[in-house]
Structure 1
Amino acid sequence: MDLKKHNEKAWDRLVEKGDGWTVPVSAEEVEKARDGEWDIVLTPTKPIPKNWFPSLKGKNVLCLASGGGQQGPILAAAGANVTVFDQSNNQLAQDQYVAERDGLKIQTVQGSMDDLSVFEDCAFDLIIHPVSNVFIEDVLPVWKEAFRVLKPGGSLLSGSSNPLLYIFSEDQMDQGNLIVEHSIPYSDVKNLSKEKLEILKDDHAPFQFGHTLEDLIQGQISAGFMIAGFYEDNFGGKMVLDQYINSFFATKAVKFN
């Protein structure tokens, strides 16, 4: 099975269904961003701290696996030169829609987050990477490619799922029960029963992967980054796990050379 192709088509379908991560920002939000009033997220609810950003005017920003017409248009309205890179053409179409609607300049490029070969070394000042590495089987090439295309002094702002999220039975968690069922690293393809995997395929749902904390954090450090910022987030109280632990985190990783 071509996992990347499956997830590409799955996200195309999620756009058609109106999933929350595919709904573009409003014209009012874009206008506020032009006036300097804006926030964007890497995780479900908590905005990125403003002191994690450089001055955006004229900066080259890559929104990595970040289509959907959300982060890209806001950063473009705030003055950045934005490139949105995503595997789903339907997600990229959302950014193109907002750009046309609100008169923004946004470049969109289709591709997989672990292969940025279409970009030269040191092409970007900032990379925005929301919670999307759960949709790639091996996260280490993502960090290595991000480091390569960043300029010295640039930052990678990324969101990740706490791997703890993937040890529980999803069916039971939806019913409010926390039943340990899986080990980490986790893979829908390897950990789910054949019957559950067929349901995912039939529903055209994207396959998910729960990476180790070592790959998520040390992986960035091994790629050459220094971790310079960290915070946690959750589902906003919508999941039973929120009562016990934050199931997402965000990092600011800086490339010094």
Structure 2
Amino acid sequence: MTKITKHNEKSWDRKVEDQVRYTRAVDAEVIKKASAGDWSVGVTAVRQVPMDWFPAPVHTLKILCLASGGGQQGPVLAAAGADVTVFDLSAAQLEQDKRVSEREGLSLQTVQGDMTDLSVFEDETFDLIVHPVSNVFVENVRPVWKEASRVLKTKGTLIAGFMNPVLYLFDDQKEEEGKLEVAHTIPYSGLEDPVEENEAIEFGHTLEDQIQGQIEAGLLMTGFYEDDFGDGRTIDKYIKTMIATKAVKG
């Protein structure tokens, strides 16, 4: 495990303690509805994944929720009847999934690890991978796509959320003050700035690495949409900085 990975693991464990947005598990009402067939999941901040992006009835699918801990996508899909494994770097994030599954009597597996290394899984294990915005926390995104493609079955589907790197052009502090001031180049590395102990190190990958990287991993792009943070931040007034793609393994 690299120093970056160790740092980000600890950072996300602390985010769970602080109950930040992406660590808050779904409540019992959401699970009740999912069990009755009324469900949806997101891989970006606001918009939900279109139901026609799912390759088959969810109860027939073996699903990997990749870098997706936090008690959100995994428990919903498990309640809807899927065979779900949640894979995440943070033990505290995975504990959120365990708590929901125990509370609601769900069958759900959790595995701790780095999203760039899925060697714990055999080739062609999963029908579907759900990968919400999280690859900003790895320095090189290409291995994520290669490993995802490897563990997908032929004709399996990858639904992924990721950041438009334009977000990383701007100075964070100025953006919080309502000003967009260009301060960085793309690709962006969080190692360029002072690294705070309580904050995760982020990377702004090029769109070529995000999209062509999937294609070169053997995935055919078949769906695309954009989203924003939905919390009124300055950049949302000008551009949507979250992207979701659907890709199918050839």
Cα distance in 2 between the residues matched to 1:116 and 1:66: 14
In the other structure, the counterpart of 1:73 is 75
CA distance in 1, matches of 2:104, 2:239: 39
Give the letter aligned to residue 16 of structure 1: E
User: Which residue of the partner structure matches residue 25 of structure 2?
Assistant: 24
Q: Deviations over 1:20-59 (max 9, x none)?
A: 1001000110010011111111111000000001211131
Equivalent-residue separation in structure 2 for 1:208 and 1:252 (angstroms): 23
1:242 aligns with 2:236: yes
TM-score (norm 2): 0.98
- Displacement of 1:218 in angstroms is 0.3
Q: Letter of the 1:81 partner, please give it.
A: D
Select the residue among 178, 203, 214 that pairs with 2:180. 178
Q: Is the 8 A contact 1:188 1:208 kept in 2?
A: yes
- For residue 126 of structure 1, what is the amino acid of its counterpart? L
Q: Does structure 1 residue 187 correspond to structure 2 residue 182? A: no
Runs of 4+ in 1 over 4 A off after TM superposition: none
Residue 203 of structure 2: aligned partner: 209
Note the alpha carbon deviations across 1:184-238, whole angstroms, 9 max, x for none.
010111x21xxx32xx12xx11100000000000000000000000000001151
Amino acid at match of 1:222: E
Cα shift at 1:140: 0.2
Contact 1:227/1:254 (CA < 8 Å) preserved in 2? yes
Count of residues paired in the alignment: 248
Aligned counterparts, 1:2-41, within 5 A: 2-41=3-42
2: CA distance, partners of 1:239 / 1:157: 26
Question: What one-letter code is carried by the residue in structure 2 that aligns with 1:86?
Answer: D
| 1: CA distance, partners of 2:111 / 2:60 | 20
Aligned sequence identity (%): 55
Verify: 1:221 aligned to 2:215, yes or no. yes
Residue matched to 1:92: 94
The amino acid across from 2:10 in the alignment is: K
Are 1:232 and 2:226 counterparts? yes
- Mapped partners of 1:91, 1:181: distance in 2: 32
Give the unaligned 5+ runs of structure 2.
none
Q: What's the CA shift string for 1:125-175, capped at 9, x where partnerless?
A: 000000000011100000000000000111000001000000000010000
- Report the 3-state secondary structure (helix = DSSP H, G, I; strand = E; otherwise coil) of the residue aligned with 2:70: coil
Q: TM-score, normalised by structure 1?
A: 0.95
- AA matched with 2:182: V
Contact 1:59/1:126 (8 A) holds in 2: yes
| Counterpart contact for 1:237–1:243, Cα < 8 Å | no
Alpha-carbon offset, residue 77 of structure 1: 0.5
In the alignment, the residues of structure 2 paired with residue 51 and residue 135 of structure 1 have an alpha-carbon distance, to the nearest angstrom, of: 29
2:53 is aligned to 52
Question: Following the alignment from structure 1 to structure 2, what is the Cα–Cα distance between the partners of residues 23 and 155?
Answer: 26
2:76 is aligned with 1:82? no
* Residues 1:123 and 2:125 are matched in the alignment: yes
